[in-house]
Amino acid sequence: MTQPGHHSIGLTTDLLRRYDVAGPRYTSYPTAPAWSDDFGPADYAALLARSNAPESDGGVRPLSLYSHLPFCERLCLFCGCNAVINPSHTQSDAYLATLKRDITAVAGHIDTARPVVQFHWGGGTPTYFTPEQLEDLFTHTAGHFPFAADAEIGVEIDPRVTTREHLETLRRLGFNRISLGVQDFDQAVQEAVNRIQPYELVRDQLAACRALGFESVSIDLIYGLPHQSTATFAPTLDAVIALNPDRVSLFNYGHVPWIKKYQAALTDALPSGEEKFAIFSMAIDALTGSDYTYVGMDHFAHPDDELCVAQANGTLHRNFQGYTTKAGADLLGFGVTSISELERSYAQNWRPMTNWREAVEAGTLPVMRGIELTDDDVIHRAAISAILCQTVLDKAEFNAAHGIDVDTYFTAALAQLAPLEADGLVELTDSAIRATDLGRIFLRNIAMPFDAYLGGDTDRPRFSRTL
C-alpha cells in the first residue's frame, strides 16, 4: 500500500518550496501573454497558405487536428478550462453547426494531400454530446481532411456522462486513445469540488475501453485539491495503480479565484503547501515504484509506451495537447477559444462564443489573436522544447541545427541555471545541458531561463505554480 515519504532521488520539502514559483507550462513559446491582438484572420489565412509549401525533401507537413467541445452538464469547482455549463443541452446543435462551418472554412485553405496524423477532441466534456452528434461531427471532419492509416485519434471523457454507446461509437469511428478524468476517489474531496464519481464507475469504464480495443487508456489525477492529504490520496493512488492505465497525468491544481471566481469556495479547505508537496512526493514514489516512468511535466507512462520511446530517441514533442510523438505536424484548432500552431506561428480563436460564432457566420476565420515567430523565438523555443521533451540539450546538435553557439547565445540563461546545478537539478557540461533524475520534477524551472519574454516575479501572476 502506498505510504507517505520523500522520493528516493533526493526530493525534499525545501527544494519543492524554493522552486514552487509562478511560471509558464510552455504548451507554446512565446507563451500566450506575448501574442498580439493585431494578428487577425488575414494573417492566419496567409500563414495557412504558406504552410502548404513542400518541405525540402518534397513532402508536405502532416496535420494534427483539435476540436474544442466546451460544454459540461455540471461545474467542477477545480476547473480552469474555458467551459460552458449547460445542463439542458439547449446549445448543442447550434454549436456543432457553427463548428462544422469553422472546420470547412479552414479546410478550404489546406492542401488536401496533407495527411492527418493526430486528432483530438477536448473540452469541456466531448461526451456531453450524443453518440449520433459525435459521429456526425467526426464524419464531417474526416470528409474534409484525409486521415493517415496509423493516425492517433484521441478523446477526453467524463465517466459520469459517458455511456457504453458513446464508447462503442468512438471506437467504431477509429478513436484509439482515451483519457478518463478521475482527479481523486476520496468522497470528501469529490463533494468539495462538486464531482461525485465512484471508483466502480471508473473501473467499469476502463474495463470497457480495454474490451473495445482502445490502444491507450489514460487516467488524469489532480493534487492540491481541498481536503486532500497524503492519507486520503494514498488509496486513490493504490486504486489507479491497480487499474494499470497506460499513462497517468498528475496535475497540480491551479487555484486562480481572481480568474475563476467560483474557485474561491475552495480556498479555506486547500491543503497547506507542505502537505501538497508531500502528496506530490508520495505520488512520484508510488508511480515510479510501480512500473511507470516519469516523463516530466506531470506525465507518467509505462517504459514501453511510445512517449517514453520517443523521449529516449529524441523525437518527443509538446503542444497544446501535452506531450505527443507527432513532431513536425501543423496543429489546426477548431471551435471557440481553440489554438492553432503552424511551423512558425500561433493563432487563437475568439474566446467569447458570440464573437466566434459571428466571425464564422460572416465567412471569416474566427481568429482573435496570434503571433508569427522571429528567428530568435524559434531558437528559444527549440531550447525550451529540448529541456521539456528530451530533458537534455545537446550543444553540438543544437549549434548545427540553428547556426549558433549555445554557450554564447545563452550566456544569461546558463548563468541563471548555476543555482539549479548546485541543487542537483541540472548538469552543465561542455557538451550538454541535462536535467538530472531529480531535475525531471523541475523541468519548467529549468526551461524558464531560456524564456526571453519572462519578466520578474511581478510579471508572473498570470501563470500557474510550477509544482
282-330 residue pLDDT tens:
999 999 999 999 988 889 999 999 999 888 888 888 877 778 888 789 9
> Which triple of cell numbers denotes residue 26?
510552455
Helices (H), 71-198: 92-107, 131-144, 164-173, 187-193
> Which triple of cell numbers denotes residue 10?
533526493
Res 6: pLDDT: 45
Structure confidence at residue 455 as a pLDDT band (50, 70, 90): confident
Q: Average pLDDT for residues 140-160, to the nearest whole number? A: 96
Shared-domain flag, residues 317 and 395: no
Does 400 fall in a domain? yes
CA pair distance 20, 26, nearest whole angstrom: 16
Counting Cβ atoms within 10 Å, is residue 107 exposed (0-12), middle (13-18) or buried (19+)?
A: middle
Does 351 fall in a domain? no
Res 377: pLDDT: 97
Beta strands (DSSP E) in 33-168 are 63-69, 71-72, 84-85, 116-123, 147-157
Structure confidence at residue 4 as a pLDDT band (50, 70, 90): low
Contact 95, 129 (CB under 8 A): no
Res 331: pLDDT: 96
Residue 429's domain comprises 374-454
Shared-domain flag, residues 162 and 278: yes
**How many C-beta atoms surround the C-beta of residue 291 within 10 A?**
13
Q: Average pLDDT for residues 358-368, to the nearest whole number? A: 97
Burial profile 153-172: b = 16 or more Cβ within 10 angstroms, e = fewer: bbbbbbbbebeeebbebbbe
Res 297: pLDDT: 80
Question: What's 435-460 look like in SS3?
Answer: ECCHHHHHHHHHHHHHCCCCCCHHHC
In sequence order, what are the residues at sequence separation of 6 or more whose Cβ sits closer than 8 angstroms to the Cβ of residue 22?
Answer: 457, 460, 461, 462, 463, 464, 465, 466
Higher pLDDT: 319 or 385? It is: 385
Q: CA dist 438 to 9, 274, 296, Å?
A: 6, 18, 10
DSSP letter, residue 253: P
Res 3: pLDDT: 56
pLDDT cut 70: percent of the chain above it: 96
Contact 460, 384 (CB under 8 A): no
Burial profile 174-208: b = 16 or more Cβ within 10 angstroms, e = fewer: ebbbbbbbbbbbbeebbebbebebeeeebeebbeb
Q: CA dist 121 to 77, 211, 350, Å?
A: 22, 21, 18
Shared-domain flag, residues 317 and 422: no
CATH number at residue 111: 3.80.30.20
Q: Average pLDDT for residues 46-70, to the nearest whole number? A: 93
Strand 116-123 with 147-157, pairing? parallel
The structural domain count of the chain equals 2
CA pair distance 38, 40, nearest whole angstrom: 6
Q: Average pLDDT for residues 459-466, to the nearest whole number? A: 64
What is the chain's mean pLDDT, rounded? 92
Is residue 2's pLDDT more than 90?
no
Most confident among 178-192, 275-289, 295-309, 441-455 (mean pLDDT): 178-192
In sequence order, what are the residues at sequence separation of 6 or more whose Cβ sits closer than 8 angstroms to the Cβ of residue 416?
Answer: 449
Question: Which of 197-211, 420-434, 436-450 bottoms out in mean pLDDT, i.e. has the lowest?
Answer: 436-450
Does 353 fall in a domain? no
Does 379 fall in a domain? yes
Shared-domain flag, residues 391 and 292: no
Q: Is the pTM of this model over 0.85?
A: yes
Identify the bridge partners of residue 276 per DSSP, sorted by sequence position. Answer: none
pLDDT cut 90: percent of the chain above it: 78
5-8 long-range Cβ contacts below 8 angstroms, 24+ apart? 5/281, 5/282, 5/285, 6/281, 6/285, 7/281, 7/284, 7/285, 7/288, 7/441, 8/285
Structure confidence at residue 458 as a pLDDT band (50, 70, 90): very low
Higher pLDDT: 5 or 103? It is: 103
Structure confidence at residue 5 as a pLDDT band (50, 70, 90): very low
114-146 residue pLDDT tens:
999 999 999 899 999 999 999 999 999 999 999
CATH number at residue 430: 1.10.10.920
- Final residue of a domain: which of 299, 316, 331? 331
Closest among 89, 85, 75, 71 to 195, alpha carbons compared: 75
Structure confidence at residue 85 as a pLDDT band (50, 70, 90): very high
Gyration radius (Cα) of the chain, Å: 22
Shared-domain flag, residues 290 and 395: no
Identify the bridge partners of residue 299 per DSSP, sorted by sequence position. Answer: 249, 296
Shared-domain flag, residues 388 and 298: no
Res 462: pLDDT: 66
